[in-house]
Amino acid sequence: MNVLDSELVVGSLRRQGYQLVAEPVDADVILFNTCSVREHAEEKIYSALGRLTGHKKHHPEIVIGVIGCMAQKDQEIVRKRAPHVDIVCGTGQLARIPELVEEVKRSRVPQYALSLDRMEANRHEVEASFESYDPPRDAAMRPTPFQAFVRIQIGCDKFCTYCVVPSTRGPEQSRSPEHIVAESRILAAEGCKEITLLGQTVNSYEFVQGDGRRTRLSDLLERLSTINGIERIKFITNFPKDMTDDLLDAVRDLDKVCKYLHVPVQSGCNDVLKRMKRMYTVELYRDMLARCQERVPAAVISSDFIVGFCGESEESFQKSCDLVREAKFKNSFIFKYSPRKGTKADDLYPDDIPEEVKKRRNNDLLAIQNTNCLADHRSRIGQRVTVLVEGYSKLGLRQPASGPRQLTGRSMTDHIVVFDGSPRLVGQTIQVLIREASSFTLYGDVETSEVDGLALAIPEHVPNAAEESPRRIGLPLL
Ligand code: 5AD
Ligand code: SF4
């Protein structure tokens, strides 16, 4: 979500004549797009802001901004801990950034743009204060020119007790299918082949038209599948209770939809799930997994876990281990619980699991997951997979330009696949025969390459995810 927000902010500033620079000290405007999910992310921002104190003293004309979740949640704290910050702008106000920058430059008065707190007004007013900021895109800011995020929902209404997102990103609101389809058509016309639909609980997506017609995520996937040029559609992240059969059937039946479902469970223990207020039991989650496997046999599933949540006993933790062992997730993203001010968990329960225990549980769960990854990857040796080639792998970036170089891409099940090939394959969808596997990566050989006219137009310089993509102009939308 933050990567997409950054793309949109950069797009709007470019239209004002700004350019990206490689080093913050060369910039006229320095913006930190922030995350509040865990404390560590926030501390990194405060350290980075601290490092800029001297620079700002010597160059008072520069504009420093903190934008996104931390800005929305902690405007007062940001002001106190980093008095040299000129702009504090929340997630729902990002469209105003160019105007705020100009105002600071003109008046030298700090600018604050925040949406309403959820307790501050009625739902309608709070909703209206979180603007969905999606029209202006900038293709040059994407990970690659042929992949893009498309937001279909903002906010969250689940209120899991550990989570700040419902307050930093506001009430759940689904975007109109017409806007989503129009944006995706423009992306396709710009050469985008893969879109990833974003929402905090993307499978709760529902848009009701004035005349009462409902569009669910499954309906949206069907509509997006008809767009020429779009070859792949992914969606993240799902809420277990909202994984409906119509959605699973759409994933199974629509060829363009990736057979990959990210459905965070957070814990394998019902007591912990209850304290987290996840609104399901581990039995319901297991039934959901079984349903996914039955209805979409080709699908792989990944999950998120929080370890060391308040009151998580050794026995509770072992239940998470059992679930990881048994469920054979493609991936588990594991996080140590980080208490967040203003959340129910922080008010109600002591953060009683020592840091070393959280660390150990994190490592133990990761070890089980890595064993499963290796087994899953090895079972794919000998298979042919369809890969959208993204760019050079880390190794490929270091290899000499003269010989064959290692490329990387992803399969329809979101597996990372690396192989040797010509840079002209970047942006192409190709067949790779898997020859070898590690816990993290599948290694293969290119089987066929449908190098069409488009590929010949791709420049010799191959972008990779860490580099800026070739500059192209984003079309203003809607
Ligand atoms: N502490 C640790 N992890 C958290 N997550 C959300 N809030 C917290 C927190 N307070 C994790 C959840 C979520 C992922 C994006 O971040 O696992 O799925
Ligand atoms: Fe946070 Fe829960 Fe909403 Fe996910 S579903 S964003 S964890 S409140």
Strand pairing class (153-154; 173-174): antiparallel
Measured between alpha carbons, how far is 468 from 142 in angstroms, rounded to an integer?
8
Q: What is the pLDDT of residue 247?
A: 98
338 lines ligand 1 (CB under 6 A): yes
User: Quick one: which atom of ligand 1 is closest to the CA of 343?
Assistant: 10
Q: Report CA 127 to chain centroid distance, whole Å.
A: 22
Q: Report CA 335 to chain centroid distance, whole Å.
A: 16
User: Quick one: which atom of ligand 2 is closest to the CA of 266?
Assistant: 7
Q: What is the pLDDT of residue 379?
A: 96
In Å, what is the CA distance from 31 to each residue of 63, 110, 148, 152, 170? 8, 14, 22, 25, 22
∠ CA(73), CA(262), CA(10), 5° rounding? 50
Which one, of 185, 214, 216, lies nearest residue 199 by Cα?
216
37 lines ligand 1 (CB under 6 A): yes
Q: What is the pLDDT of residue 467?
A: 36
User: Quick one: which atom of ligand 2 is closest to the CA of 163?
Assistant: 1
Q: 């490329």: which residue's tokens?
A: 407
Containing H/E element for 232? strand 232-236
Ligand nearest to the CA of 171: 2
Q: Which residues contact 216 (CB under 8 A, 6 or more apart)?
A: 205, 206, 244, 246, 247
With the most atoms of ligand 2 within 8 angstroms of its CB, the residue from 35, 153, 161, 200 to mutate is: 200
Ligand nearest to the CA of 307: 1
Q: What is the pLDDT of residue 461?
A: 41
Q: What is the pLDDT of residue 278?
A: 98
Cα 160 to middle of ligand 2, angstroms: 6
Cα 116 to middle of ligand 1, angstroms: 23
Measured between alpha carbons, how far is 386 from 402 in angstroms, rounded to an integer?
27
With the most atoms of ligand 1 within 8 angstroms of its CB, the residue from 156, 161, 162, 348 to mutate is: 162
Exposure string for 221-233, b = 16+ CB within 10 A, e = fewer: beebeebeebbbb
Mean pLDDT in order along the chain per 10 residues (478 residues):
90 90 93 95 95 95 96 93 96 93 96 86 80 64 85 95 95 93 92 96 95 96 98 98 97 98 98 98 98 96 98 98 97 97 96 98 98 96 97 92 90 97 94 96 82 37 37 24
Measured between alpha carbons, how far is 430 from 411 in angstroms, rounded to an integer?
10
Cα 184 to middle of ligand 1, angstroms: 29
Cα 348 to middle of ligand 2, angstroms: 18
Cα 200 to middle of ligand 2, angstroms: 7
Q: What is the pLDDT of residue 470?
A: 28
Q: Which residues contact 313 (CB under 8 A, 6 or more apart)?
A: none
Q: What is the pLDDT of residue 451?
A: 44
Measured between alpha carbons, how far is 129 from 186 in angstroms, rounded to an integer?
27
pTM of the model: 0.91
Q: What is the pLDDT of residue 140?
A: 65
- Amino acid sitting at position 333: F
Q: What is the pLDDT of residue 136?
A: 56
- Ligand 2, CB within 6 Å, residue ranges: 156, 158-160, 163, 165-166, 200-201, 239
Give start and end residues of each alpha helix (H) in 207-354.
Answer: 217-225, 245-253, 270-276, 282-295, 314-327, 344-348
463 lines ligand 1 (CB under 6 A): no
Report residue 369: phi and psi, to 5°.
-60, -40
